[in-house]
A and B are shown apart, each in its own frame.
Chain A
């Protein structure tokens, strides 16, 4: 079994901290990730909304490269970015289920001297860590358990919808189990797969910001010290716009928003600067600090 790492554009830019922490944590778990060579755009949102076929072809090129790089063995492509994970997953399913799309894509790949055999498996690191490595092995590495830290696990809308490959689409628990294995407490909250606002923060900010604010507000009301995400866009929206939310809703949320992999690294005792934690706007306070204040104002949907 080979794990090939597909970064996608975000993990090389705004989501740098996600890449840094995923790679560090994988190394600590003795499953170092090899980056897919010569990868290209996953084909996500922008392409998909203009030309599906081109989006599928972009995805398929990555699949073909991965199969080639892996040789003959089975290959698991590890995709941390939620948008890439969904886009690639969609492409893989369409290529499997629609021969007319497959033949066109095959033709395009052929022109580039490539071939997609169809053996690729797409995995989110959350799935790989919990289901391949196992909670027991992870817990053993947690030399600095996250005791006293209350985590709101946030999955976002993409990694389990519409393809609920490794957990329930609406009530997932994988990340909670992981955080508990690391010694943290998890917050029971019903918004863990609700939309963060996505691109609306850039296009219709009054709607997008409210969606983000609803999530942060509710997490805080339920006593979370930190919100853990699995998606670079969610992390960006939820953390970097907190000052704008303050202007809009008159409240300073001040809730740290980090990648779940950063919390893993923290529990493994890895230094902050190797986990990208020096890049955050809302600093992650030590787990032992006083509990967050529960309560606060309501906001309309």
Chain B
């Protein structure tokens, strides 16, 4: 027997508890046979089964055995530790057991859910239990450290989700840093004219929130800024924010537009991002009249002075407040926050990827975002829906599911397109009186008042044709089709191919993850789904948490969602952040690295490897030393140490090798 198998609470007495998980596990693993097997393993004093180990009666079984002195170490064979390791550790603590004399064998995700036949499933379950039993006998009792939580919160992204979360937190008295990479907050919602299904004016409900953000004493708003570094851990994040130079001093500018008027370019010459390219802007500009902050910005790429260094700089002279500073440099801010909320949003699908819909080939084929701008009273056409030749369309086709529910692009449903297509159909009909045809696969209108809105559109005589559109073409087959765009689709209700001639086509583009979602994910150490959406900790029960403690999600960065859902989720994320901060402290997992000083040669390899700067060099002793409060237990140094001097709690070589032996001996 290894000396390590004797701990302060005596030689190991292992209790093995096997969970049926209803039929999730019991349907594949022969439980009776597995219990009998576990009971005969060395050190095992108790082997039991129960229908749901995570339930109170299940936990009672463990607690009773500990209190009766039958058991001082516990193996639960059930689901993933991600699901219930915390549950069982807490149960052990309540019975005065050390929660780290515990090991889980995952016989659900790793066995029953992925094995087709009963016999091999049972074999694998036994092997994993044997491994866990061997491992747990080598566990040491450990203590968690309690660390105070920093009271401030960082929110990344200033769309409706970030705004909502920031205001909720700030109103509760928390200090919030809101970082937005664009020159203004507002996100996609600021571009919309109306919102479904109530047809509220988007600006009317959003801009008051935007100005509240700007005015709120508890919110520090940094637009045109990006997070470039995140260190630390839950409750204690150190964040670096790059404030890009806008060449206009934010504190001095009052948004009077004089500089824009004075610019040497008399007309706009760069695609206006806010109007998605439907209009032009000057190199010095304010994105839109309600931009927050209402501060001008100079786009270095198109400004004559930056490009050729010989502009007359009328803008500088025109500003009475001397707010323009062409020598402005980028600034790096460092902040300490206890929690982070990511609300980085989405991008719309690029309709060019489906060439047969003719986007950018036929001038009157638009993306839905372009139409959002066109129907907006403050948009490039002043709210008029018109064709490139200036005439109003007599017939408009709206193509649903462009870049959604499609094996070739995105398989998922983007959730918002049916509803916004209905909204656009209504607005187009209202503005032009045109015949509007919706081409849909299924109408998906679940939501409060959504189905009613659909019915309203049916009554407004908007046409609905069920069938995915095959192509948009200018190939005319009849004189009536000549010079128009023809939408070809199989009408699956009638069972025939239809050709609908229209003047304008609206492609209802789906929602996609931001193109740099993967970089952001790395920066904040969270996970992405295959499609690039940030992964929540649990799809149902922890929808705003991530696998990194203290980092929360809000809005469409987690998956396509509409405004009501974004706002609800933002509130939830704010509440989670508040709960963490108001708790005041966090308990750190004790799976940190420790150093066996006698073995350390002082080579310093580990110091450079540590991503948390937790290792320092003690000159007097010529050895490395680990700051337990900073160590996150990532194990990088342990793997790198050439002399084996670095070890990690709960992951010692001995524990891991014995776990492997447990599997191999059995198999």
Taking Cβ atoms with an 8 Å cutoff, the residues of A that contact B are 168-171, 189-191, 214, 218, 298-301
Contact = CB atoms under 8 A, between A and B. Distances in A.
Contacts of B361: 171
A65 to B, nearest CB: 34
Interface string B491-507: 00000010100000000
Interface string B95-129: 00000000000000000000000000000000000
A214 B499 CA distance: 15
Given A190-B473, A190-B475, 10 more contacts: A168-B355, A170-B356, A171-B355, A190-B474, A218-B475, A298-B476, A298-B478, A298-B481, A299-B477, A301-B499
A191 B475 contact: yes
A301 B475 CA distance: 11
Among the interface residues A189, A190, A191, A298, which one has the most CB atoms of the partner chain B within 10 A? A190
Nearest to A300: B477
Given A190-B471, A190-B473, A298 B355 contact: no
Interface in B459-491: 471, 473-479, 481
Contacts of A169: 355
A267 B476 CA distance: 33
Nearest to B486: A190
B219 to A, nearest CB: 47
Among the interface residues B355, B361, B474, which one has the most CB atoms of the partner chain A within 10 A? B355
Nearest to B482: A298
Contacts of A300: 477-478
Contact of A170 (B355, B477, B478, B479): B355
Nearest to B472: A190
Nearest to B474: A190
Nearest to A191: B475
Contact of A301 (B471, B474, B477): B477
Nearest to B497: A301
27 contacts: A168-B355, A169-B355, A170-B355, A170-B356, A170-B471, A171-B355, A171-B356, A171-B361, A189-B475, A190-B471, A190-B473, A190-B474, A190-B475, A191-B475, A214-B477, A218-B475, A298-B476, A298-B477, A298-B478, A298-B479, A298-B481, A299-B477, A300-B477, A300-B478, A301-B477, A301-B497, A301-B499
Nearest to B408: A169
Nearest to B475: A190
Nearest to B476: A298
A192 B476 CA distance: 15
Contacts of A190: 471, 473-475
A218 B481 CA distance: 13
A115 B356 CA distance: 41
A118 B497 CA distance: 42
Nearest to B477: A298
Contacts of A168: 355
Nearest to A171: B355
Contacts of A189: 475
Nearest to A162: B408
Contacts of B479: 298
A224 to B, nearest CB: 14
A171 B481 CA distance: 21
Nearest to A222: B475
A218 B476 CA distance: 9
A169 B473 CA distance: 15
Nearest to A172: B355
Nearest to B481: A298
B366 to A, nearest CB: 18
B468 to A, nearest CB: 14
A298 B481 CA distance: 10
B179 to A, nearest CB: 39
B608 to A, nearest CB: 43
A171 B352 CA distance: 11
B488 to A, nearest CB: 8
A105 B539 CA distance: 44
Among the interface residues A218, A298, A299, which one has the most CB atoms of the partner chain B within 10 A? A298
Nearest to B479: A298
A171 B361 CA distance: 10
B472 to A, nearest CB: 9
Interface in B431-476: 471, 473-476
Nearest to A221: B476
A299 B476 CA distance: 9
Contacts of B473: 190
Interface in B342-356: 355-356
Nearest to B356: A170
A15 to B, nearest CB: 28
B470 to A, nearest CB: 10
B475 to A, nearest CB: 5
A301 B477 CA distance: 7
A128 to B, nearest CB: 23
Interface string B278-318: 00000000000000000000000000000000000000000
A218 B477 CA distance: 9
A215 to B, nearest CB: 10
Nearest to B488: A301
A228 to B, nearest CB: 18
A301 B361 CA distance: 23
Contacts of B471: 170, 190
A87 to B, nearest CB: 22
Contacts of B476: 298
A169 B355 CA distance: 8
A214 B355 CA distance: 21
B499 to A, nearest CB: 7
Contacts of A218: 475
A189 B474 CA distance: 8
Interface in B578-594: none
B363 to A, nearest CB: 14
Interface string B549-565: 00000000000000000
Nearest first, the 4 closest Cβ-Cβ pairs linking A and B are A171-B355, A170-B356, A190-B473, A170-B355
Contacts of B499: 301
A189 B476 CA distance: 11
B515 to A, nearest CB: 21
Contacts of B477: 214, 298-301
A169 B356 CA distance: 9
Contacts of B356: 170-171
Nearest to B362: A190
A160 to B, nearest CB: 11
A217 to B, nearest CB: 9
A301 B490 CA distance: 13
Contacts of A301: 477, 497, 499
B113 to A, nearest CB: 24
Among the interface residues A189, A218, A299, A301, which one has the most CB atoms of the partner chain B within 10 A? A301
Nearest to A217: B477
A298 B476 CA distance: 8
A170 B469 CA distance: 14
Contacts of A214: 477
Nearest to A189: B475
A298 B475 CA distance: 10
A178 to B, nearest CB: 19
B148 to A, nearest CB: 55
Nearest to A299: B477
Contacts of B355: 168-171
A178 B659 CA distance: 64
A266 to B, nearest CB: 28
A223 B475 CA distance: 13
A191 B356 CA distance: 11
Among the interface residues A169, A170, A214, which one has the most CB atoms of the partner chain B within 10 A? A170
B128 to A, nearest CB: 29
A168 B471 CA distance: 14
A241 to B, nearest CB: 20
A170 B357 CA distance: 10
A7 B117 CA distance: 50
B316 to A, nearest CB: 47
B511 to A, nearest CB: 23
A191 B477 CA distance: 12
A298 B471 CA distance: 19
